Amino acid sequence: SYFIGGPQPCPGSVPYLCPSPSPPPTYHAFSLGAVVGSQNISARIGEPLVLTCKGAPRKPPQQLEWKLNTGRTEAWKVLSPEGDSWESVARVLPNGSLLLPAVGIQDEGTFRCRATNRHGKEIKSNYRLRVYQIPGKPEIVDPASELIAGIPNKVGTCLSEGGYPAGTLSWHLHGKALVPDGKGVSVREETRRHPDTGLFTVQSELTMTPARGGPLNPTFSCSLSLSPSAPGRRVLHTAPIQPSVWEPLPLEEVQLVVEPEGGTVAPGGAVTLTCETSAQPPPQIHWLKDGSPLAIAPSSVLFLPEVGAQDQGIYSCVATDQGHRSKESPGVSVSIIGLEEGPGLGLVALVLGVLGSLVIAALLVGILLWKRQQRLHREERKVPECPEEEEQRAELNQPEEQETAESNVGGP
């Protein structure tokens, strides 16, 4: 438990000449026999606090009265040793001290005790109470891993939760404080209070324009300075972050890579389309299917998990850089094996195929029969003579050449 209070009067001597413990309270008012010790004290939220009523005898009978003016009271609230305790907020102990079993934010305020000591002298105590809560270690959320030189970049958001009072966040580069100048360095701060506990969440988003040709691995950190009312360690530091700095690269080639290669999958298969550009900072990527924009959030990867007939088509991606220049990739086709003509047309195609084959077969048979008849006619017309016979023999030796020649000349 906490014990905070001024010096106790030494029995048999003048109170304000007692040796005082450190830090000594400031006695700033002397009036006809009254001594007022004024003290600024701080107490941690949730912990008990005991305030000493200076000059009061340790045991009853006592002449003393506590008066408090805090966030819980309307004007002054009076507590006496004989009175009941004030709910669970505060009560006067048998030795005259005031106990607050669990200090809350609403207990901030002024506490006064007026007691008459054994020598009949009135002694006043005066306390100004400030409460505090030490927040968790601040951290940098959404830290940037890469920064582009010459343009503003979000470096990260420094966040501290659960502190009271709020405290102040500050950013450091290579250990030196970064002072927001609205140009190269800017900071957006936000402070919220938890509706139930009243504790603060503070955050500070750092945006910075790294100089071209500057350090390639700058080290950023953030720190929270606690309010002076909190004792002990006054500053809490985050772990540092070390993004790498890139020089900007113009938007030139835009390539679309399809996986599996060729963009052909079995029905229900997955296709991954990746839009690649060397531009820095990374441009925004939008997607087109058969020339029309797809209503999806910008992303460099388009994943089609279960490809169906409706997903078939020509895909392309459009990269847009920060200067609003755009470039489109070559189109890439996504198709499904066995679905080129759509499911309804498959049967028709099969029937047509079979019919076609039959017609061709019939034609071939017809041609063969026709050729054979022609040959028979010729043999009947021309009585075999010697040169003819020679020719016929030659024909028999080169049957293929002869047939092609014949079909070229006398096709159906």
Q: Quick one: which H or E segment has residue 348? A: helix 345-381
Provide the pairing of β-strand 244-246 with 264-265: unpaired
Nearer to ligand NAG, 24 or 213 (CB): 24
- Residue 38 in contact with ligand NAG, rule: CB under 6 A: yes
Min dist. Cβ of residue 235 to ligand NAG (A)? 21
DSSP of 161-206: EEEBS--EEEEEETTEEPPP-SSSEEEEEEEEE-TTT--EEEEEEE
- Residue 40 in contact with ligand NAG, rule: CB under 6 A: yes
DSSP of 80-107: -SSSPPBTTTBEE-TTS-EEESS--GGG
- Residue 41 in contact with ligand NAG, rule: CB under 6 A: no
DSSP of 13-70: S-GGGSPPPSSPPEEEEEETTEEEEEEEEEEETTS-EEE--TT--SSSS-EEEEEEEE
Min dist. Cβ of residue 105 to ligand NAG (A)? 16
- Residue 42 in contact with ligand NAG, rule: CB under 6 A: no
Region 146-185 residues binding ligand NAG, contact defined as CB under 6 A? none
Radius of gyration of the chain (CA): 47
Min dist. Cβ of residue 116 to ligand NAG (A)? 16
- Residue 93 in contact with ligand NAG, rule: CB under 6 A: yes
Structure tokens at 321: 């850089």
Total number of residues shown for the chain: 412
Contacts with ligand NAG: how many residues (CB under 6 A)? Answer: 12
Min dist. Cβ of residue 128 to ligand NAG (A)? 6
Min dist. Cβ of residue 99 to ligand NAG (A)? 7
- Residue 110 in contact with ligand NAG, rule: CB under 6 A: no
Min dist. Cβ of residue 279 to ligand NAG (A)? 55
Of 89-97, 180-188, 310-318, 365-373: span binding ligand NAG (CB under 6 A):
89-97
Min dist. Cβ of residue 97 to ligand NAG (A)? 4
Min dist. Cβ of residue 167 to ligand NAG (A)? 17
Min dist. Cβ of residue 133 to ligand NAG (A)? 18
- Residue 95 in contact with ligand NAG, rule: CB under 6 A: yes
Nearer to ligand NAG, 40 or 63 (CB): 40
Instruction: Report how far apart, in Å, the C-alpha atoms of 167 and of each of 44, 155, 246 are.
Output: 15, 21, 34
- Residue 97 in contact with ligand NAG, rule: CB under 6 A: yes
- Residue 4 in contact with ligand NAG, rule: CB under 6 A: no
Nearer to ligand NAG, 128 or 377 (CB): 128
Min dist. Cβ of residue 104 to ligand NAG (A)? 19
Axis-axis angle for helices 399-409, 386-397 (nearest 10): 100
Residue 142 burial class via C-beta count within 10 angstroms: exposed 0-12, middle 13-18, buried 19 and up? exposed
Residue 9 to residue 24: CA distance in whole angstroms: 14
Which residue of 18, 50, 149, 173 would you call a contact of ligand NAG, by CB under 6 A?
A: 50
Residue 216 to residue 236: CA distance in whole angstroms: 27
Instruction: Report how far apart, in Å, the C-alpha atoms of 368 and of each of 372, 380, 406 are.
Output: 6, 19, 12
Nearer to ligand NAG, 4 or 241 (CB): 4
- Residue 128 in contact with ligand NAG, rule: CB under 6 A: yes
- Residue 26 in contact with ligand NAG, rule: CB under 6 A: yes
- Residue 3 in contact with ligand NAG, rule: CB under 6 A: yes
- Residue 62 in contact with ligand NAG, rule: CB under 6 A: no
- Residue 227 in contact with ligand NAG, rule: CB under 6 A: no
321 closest CA partner among 344, 348, 346, 298: 298
317 closest CA partner among 379, 272, 383: 272
Of 36-44, 62-70, 106-114, 357-365: span binding ligand NAG (CB under 6 A):
36-44
312 closest CA partner among 345, 344, 265, 274: 265
Of 34-42, 71-79, 142-150, 159-167: span binding ligand NAG (CB under 6 A):
34-42
Per-residue exposure over 27-63, b if at least 16 CB sit within 10 Å of its own CB, e if not: eeeeeeeebbbbbebbbbbeeebbbbbbbbbeeeebb
Min dist. Cβ of residue 96 to ligand NAG (A)? 7
Which residues contact ligand NAG by CB under 6 A? 1, 3, 26, 38-40, 50, 52, 93, 95, 97, 128
